[in-house]
Chains A and B, each alone.
Chain A
């Protein structure tokens, strides 16, 4: 087995430092900066590749991805409600978090594939954009029904013009318009420094994950089991969908990872304002302190094997 990618070790460092209450704290502005660079870099990379390759995205792929985003929250809701015996609001919140995707996890999987020289579809960042929002809307519907209590207009504005979508789509557009040659001058910053920026991002994520461990203790074994079993099941669904769409093994790995990942930025913000009765610590802790570490340390190598196996 190859040695663990150093960027993952930065995450471990963050967790250890956080748990030990070490004097280590990155200012909020640094987190904002680092995540902005990551999102733009992911978008740009996708855009540059798309400019190179003339094949667009098949319509069936578009439809399958949106359907996946709409469908993934439903089993999550059922398990949380009936196995976890959580309230309707908490179950819906978990459904939104686990149905939506984590761009941080996406950054790790593309770094993982790149370091192993495994190719994947250039349009993968578009999948992130397509998978982020539908599950959050379904989660809110599961909690609220079609009642008028939700300010849908403002919510749609918040979701579709959220930071991650604007930066990803913006990066994709700039990369696509400028192409490989046009972006040559900015490539050292966005592509050359990608792994270093990712390492800083993961250090901060480790600190944040560690700060959620006390909440984890309060919520007990269900949330840990949930945070591990859900991504495994979702990865099988994602990899299978990728197989049916005829993706490469690398693309199937990315899609499995996206399905397995849980949102910890877009979903918490939207759910907090649209479903205030839900306990925000519960979903965020599951997503951040259980599922994110599980996916980046254990999950991604596993999903790659699953993809290779299913691809045959």
Chain B
């Protein structure tokens, strides 16, 4: 089965940023994403998902590597200093390249 290379960008950050991030993604031309509620522990302590004020979200975007780099650079410049946020990337194979 033929596979096409794309990049999976995963962002774990504060739920309160959701709306703002979606606007950033739209402006950058991100075509799709998946968001789930998340909880865990990191540099800013334990973050639970049972209350919106303390909650985290996990955002996953599958896209062209160049776009993933642009999203990552923007998030680093605008959000890393003041928000709980991590992101990481993986190469993934997709079957329908026109979707991503």
Contacts and interface: CB of A to CB of B under 8 A. Distances in A.
The range of chain A's interface size is: 20 to 34
A284 B53 contact: yes
Contact of A269 (B49, B53, B79, B83): B53
Nearest to A284: B53
A28 B53 CA distance: 11
Interface string B64-82: 0000000000000001011
A264 B53 contact: yes
A5 interface: no
Interface in B3-27: 14, 16-17, 19-20, 23
Contact of B49 (A28, A204, A208): A28
B39 to A, nearest CB: 10
Interface residues of B, number: 19
Contacts, number: 41
Secondary structure class of chain A's binding surface, majority of residues: helix
Nearest to A279: B82
A28 B55 contact: yes
A31 B51 contact: yes
Contacts of A208: 51, 54
Contacts of B48: 211
Interface of A: 25-28, 31-32, 154, 158, 204, 208, 211, 264-265, 268-269, 272-273, 276-277, 284
Pairs of residues from A and B, 4 with the lowest C-beta to C-beta distance, nearest first: A276-B82, A28-B50, A272-B16, A268-B53
